């Protein structure tokens, strides 16, 4: 099943399960919400709010990017997380 991979400043911040409803707060700057197997940015302190306007994503390869905060939220396959786990 698909996972969410969050990268902050080019480092992996964490992986999240799209099947588990939750709210993710990142450095008091960005807030993401997983709901109904989709993730969306619900609040951000950046001036343009482009990351919020990108809407909800749930398909592999889709992403939400907040350039001012160097934040990348992308949908990856669960296999990719296992490969990362083995890499560390």
CB 71 within 8 Å of CB 8: yes
For residues 25-51, one letter each, b for 16 or more C-beta atoms within 10 angstroms of the residue's C-beta and e for the rest, the string is ebeeebbbebeeebbbbeebebeeeeb
Q: What is the pLDDT of residue 11?
A: 97
**Which has more pLDDT, 82 or 77?**
77
pLDDT band at 88 (very low <50, low <70, confident <90, very high): low
Q: How many CB atoms are located within 10 Å of the residue 84 CB?
A: 14
Q: What is the pLDDT of residue 87?
A: 65
Look at the pTM and tell me if it is higher than 0.85: yes
CATH architecture of 2-87: Sandwich (2.60)
pLDDT averaged over every residue in the chain: 94
Whether the per-residue pLDDT at 82 is higher than 80: the answer is no
Q: Where are the domains of the chain?
A: 2-87
């Amino acid at each position: 099943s698909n996972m969410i991979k969050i990268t902050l400043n080019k480092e992996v911040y964490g992986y999240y399960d799209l099947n588990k409803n939750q709210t993710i707060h990142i450095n008091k700057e960005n807030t993401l919400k997983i709901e109904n197997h989709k993730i969306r940015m619900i609040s951000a302190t950046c001036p343009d709010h482009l990351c919020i306007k990108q809407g909800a994503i749930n398909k592999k390869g889709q992403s939400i990017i907040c350039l001012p905060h160097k934040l990348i939220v992308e949908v990856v396959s669960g296999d990719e997380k296992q490969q990362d786990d083995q890499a560390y």
